[in-house]
Chains A and B, each alone.
Chain A
Amino acid sequence: MENFSIRSVQKKIKNGELHLKSIVGEFIGRIEQRDDLNAFLAVYKNAALAKAEEINNKIRSGNAGSLAGAVIAVKDNMAFKGGQLSCASKILENFVSPYDSTVAKKLTAADAIIIGKTNMDEFAMGSSGENSSVKPAKNPHNTSHVPGGSSSGSAVAVAANMCTAALGSDTGGSIRQPAAFCGIYGMKPTYGRISRYGLVAFASSLDQIGPLANSIDDLAVILQAISGNDVHDSTSAPEPVPEFSSRFSESIEGKTVGIPRQYMTEALQPEIADAINSTKAKLIAGGVKVVDVELKMLDYCIAAYYIICTAEASSNLSRYDGVRYGFRAENAKELDEMYTQTRVQGFGKEVKRRIMLGTYVLSAGYYDAYYRRALKARTLIRQDFENAFKQCDLMLSPTTPTTAFKLGENINDPLTMYLQDIYTVSLNLAGLPGLSIPAGRDSAALPIGLQLIGKPFDELSLLQTGYFLENTPDN
């Protein structure tokens, strides 16, 4: 497999060794060839080829943006003017966005080529990709296994070399978990680092856009291009954006990495525990101090998360009512029936389950018992991390308790499915950045992913640590 990393492509095009059209052509060839993976919901073949010509010229003449040469796949929950925005849901199946998301504008401004929109769990709700109303995406390492979710198609497209990199969104692990299952890099930045304007909301206080890529280098370049405060998103942070793309390779010698003791339980697949240990050894050999830290709130994370995310989802998804756009049930005789039938027919099972849960926890008489208590737990979880970070600069943990499970294995058992998120949701609750990095394979040759957890707005340490591990061979 040729190295199509953004910087190397830019260099080769500049030198005249390569034409961007041939890269786009190769990606399209692979998308068509591996149609069975169900990675994409829309492929912009002609537009991408036309754009390749233009960007190639820009690179040759030396006035191209930072993402020139990058061919990006985007999860189908981010708005691109004139393009579909289905969220893999029947309720938005024919919806065409009249506006651009902030990330769409930033990608275009940086000269990225958008190759298509990727498959996902409906409205980003799911951990396997099986909640797509269209078709389930499959793991390229073994097609009888799930690729993870909800950014399933984005992870598959990157892992199967259908694009340079992809954007996903992460509400409870939806970038990191599929990245781990597919053996690639995936980052959920700090809440507020990237504008959510134009990202279809699942749970507003948890959602965050992030990149998935085959290398830390590409991840850093993309993160650089899409980060920053945005006037269209009040929750985006006014924090300065560090020089990710030039500083990701700096040394991590002298840093302290914490390993949360509570995360290393018997439920963890032994091969993942082994991967933690060998990674720990590499870090120590590289001059990094490794310490045990306490995260006592782990047991409350899933409960707090599923109360908060369903509450917000039940509210955010109220707008899909059949009145102004999207699917509307036919033959309803009156308004209430139109609402009910539109939503019964338009939403899938998991989405309806979460709307019902969320409606329940916000109801009069239950709000205090559920929602308000979950907010209190959230505050404690945040404090738990703050305390642990007094002893370390970043943390290392598993991304998932197991490697990719089989299609159909957990789909009828929502609780087991929700436990997939045990190591990832706490970061969303605390607003912290997390990076999933590939860390070998298990005995079934399925990828193992480990998670690096950072302090707020310290994505740079995660990139640097990821880069160190990427370039340190296994013993």
Chain B
Amino acid sequence: MKYEAVIGLEVHVQLKTQSKIFSASSAEFGGDANSKVDPVVIGMPGVLPVLNKKVVEYAVKMGMATNCTIARHSIFARKHYFYPDLPKGYQISQFEEPICEHGFIEVNADDGEARKINIERIHLEEDAGKSVHAEEYVAKNETLIDLNRAGVPLIEIVTEPDFRSPQEVYQYLTKIRQIVRYLEICDGNMDEGSMRCDANVSIRPVGQPELGTKTELKNMNSIRGVERALEYEIQRQISAVADGESIEQQTLLWNANKNITVAMRSKEYAHDYRYFPDPDLVPVLVSDEWRNSIAESLPELPEARKNRFMAEFKLPEYDATVITEEKELADYFEKAALTSKDPKITSNWIMGDVSRILNDGKITISEFSVPPKGLAELINLVADGTISQKIGKQVLDEILATGASAQKIVEDKGLVQISDVSAIESLVDGVLATHPDEFARFKNGEMKLMGFLVGQIMRASKGKVNPKIANEILRKKIE
């Protein structure tokens, strides 16, 4: 029997606001344990939450970027459970009226068709703290609590069970990460936990409308990890069903070292979170005016930018996709392309030499020391024939080493390409005189010696000769 997988995702995105969602403490990652807390974060008796407006703005941006309806009126609810890293005994979240609903993102399905992944809702909530199980304390049956993360703003993006393969999930998560980075609301690093993903997965015979029993997968700390965990879990479920077993509804943890899913200790009873509207907070109202101003502040999103780069700069789709993958890279390209004479050559340079330098140095484009204008200047020198492509690469290394401009390096080092025909002719004559045998064979039709002779000419000129002109002169010699 042929089975298909049915997958839904819950993605938590930490919003990188300066302060926490309901208090003035810093929301920055890290620092000494419990250094980013205040009475509100600790849940002292008598404190009250006050909503950070920036959080709403960020969530609305995400909703707009994922085609959601933005609620004019949404409310916070309390979700109750006892856990040592949850200070108040409840998490402030949204339940009945979330800030965003009914969005979607498109991915390419395995059959090549576009598949719409529906986003059921995006809601606001606060993060919990962390329980630290340090060895010397575990021995004493004690756990340490660090509340730095408690109260950091989160949005939870919940999809419908619309995925049919782990590959679609991979694409979706890549897009979500790309969008949050474009919006600059989160750094999207799953390994640091600023973006987290839980997946619900079940299988069913192809054609069967009813859903199978689902399991929930947690603890994946990369997009690839989510894909692998799903692949594993789908196979596990298919094998289990083939063996006549039934699927148990449970939560499984992904073990990235062993590449397996492991069942969490089963809970004795189902949680009743006793959600109810938080009486300490007033409804979140997003006026048309506010919404419009947020819409105006939205940056161009990856998809739109890719299409524009193809139209405006005539980039091939491949180039446009690679260049727009990260906002900073696209920004860099766009600035360079606007001052350079040739956008396609600019994209070649960025995808080629610049990317190689970034990879070698393990740095990002924002840490790349050559400004877009500087790169454009270099590209223009190559494009107008002032220097050769080969010299261009040398000049780039020189810019990186010295910080000088391309123009200055070319002038100081006399790297200007020799395009003067009579100058090249005398160089060619010199080379032919010192290599009479090769010249004779070349004249006799051994055309492969062309490359050797041009190479000698380049060497003699320290690479400055315009190779096109040298080629032409050589050809004339045998006519």
Interfacial residues, chain A to chain B (CB-CB below 8 A): 77-79, 85, 87, 92, 95, 97-99, 101, 196-201, 203-205, 231-235, 311-312, 314-315, 318-321, 323-325, 333, 335, 339, 359, 362-364, 367, 371
Contact B46 A101, beta carbon cutoff 8 Å: yes
Which bracket fits the contact residues of B? 20 to 34
Q: Which residues of the partner chain B approach A371 to less than 8 Å between Cβ atoms? A: 276
A97 touches B274 (CB 8 A): no
Within 8 A of A (CB), among B24-51: 39, 42-51
Q: B47 to A312, Cβ gap below 8 A?
A: no
Residues of chain B within 8 A (CB-CB) of A323 are: 84, 87, 145
- Bound together, the chains give a CA A99 to CA B145 distance in angstroms of 21
19 residue pairs A–B, Cβ–Cβ below 8 Å: A79-B46, A85-B45, A92-B45, A98-B39, A99-B39, A197-B46, A203-B279, A234-B49, A235-B281, A315-B78, A319-B43, A320-B45, A333-B141, A339-B82, A359-B274, A362-B80, A362-B276, A367-B276, A371-B276
* Chain A residues whose C-beta falls within 8 Å of the C-beta of B46 in the assembled complex: 77-79, 85, 97, 101, 197-201
Contact B45 A234 (CB under 8 A): no
Whole-angstrom distance between the Cβ of B400 and the nearest chain A Cβ = 50
Given contacts A231-B50, A318-B80, whether A364 and B45 have CB atoms under 8 Å apart is no
B78 touches A324 (CB 8 A): no
Closest to A375 in B: B277
- Contacts A319-B87, A319-B88, A324-B145 given; indicate if A200 touches B279 (C-beta within 8 A): no
Shortest CB-to-CB span from B438 to chain A, Å, is: 86
Extra A-B contacts (15), CB below 8 Å, given A197-B46, A199-B46: A79-B45, A79-B46, A85-B46, A101-B46, A197-B48, A201-B46, A233-B50, A235-B48, A314-B274, A315-B78, A319-B45, A323-B84, A323-B87, A363-B272, A364-B272
Q: Among A232, A315, A318, A324, which residue has its beta carbon within 8 angstroms of that of B50?
A: A232
Do most interface residues of chain B lie in helix, strand or loop, or is the interface mixed? loop
CA distance A203 to B278 in the complex (A): 11
A368 to B282, CA, bound (A): 22
B89 proximal to A (CB < 8 A): yes
Decide yes or no: A234 and B50 within 8 Å by CB, A315-B80, A339-B82 being known contacts.
yes
Contact A234 B281, beta carbon cutoff 8 Å? yes
B residues less than 8 Å from A204 (CB atoms): 279-280
Distance between B38 CB and nearest chain A CB, rounded to angstroms: 8
Interface: B170 (CB within 8 A): no
* CB-CB nearest 7 A-B residue pairs: A318-B89, A205-B279, A204-B279, A362-B274, A200-B45, A200-B46, A198-B46
B45 near A196 with CB under 8 A, answer no
CB contacts (< 8 Å) of B349 on chain A: these are none
Pick the residue among A95, A232, A335 that contacts B45 (CB under 8 A): A95
How distant is the Cα of A367 from the Cα of B45 in the complex, in angstroms? 26
Tell me whether B90 is interfacial, beta carbon within 8 Å. Answer: yes
Contacts of B88 in A (CB 8 A): 318-319
Chain B 88-143 interface residues, beta-carbon cutoff 8 Å to A: 88-90, 141
Given contacts A315-B80, A318-B88, contact A234 B280 (CB under 8 A): yes
The answer to whether A234 touches B282 (Cβ under 8 A) is yes
Instruction: Find out whether the CB atom of B44 lies under 8 angstroms from the CB atom of A325.
Output: yes
Q: Please encode chain B, from 269 to 295, with 1 for each CB lying within 8 Å of some chain A CB and 0 for all others.
A: 000101110011110000000000000
Contacts of A325 in B (CB 8 A): 42, 44
B82 touches A321 (CB 8 A): yes
A99 to B282, CA, bound (A): 24
Cα of A238 to Cα of B279 in the assembled complex, Å = 17
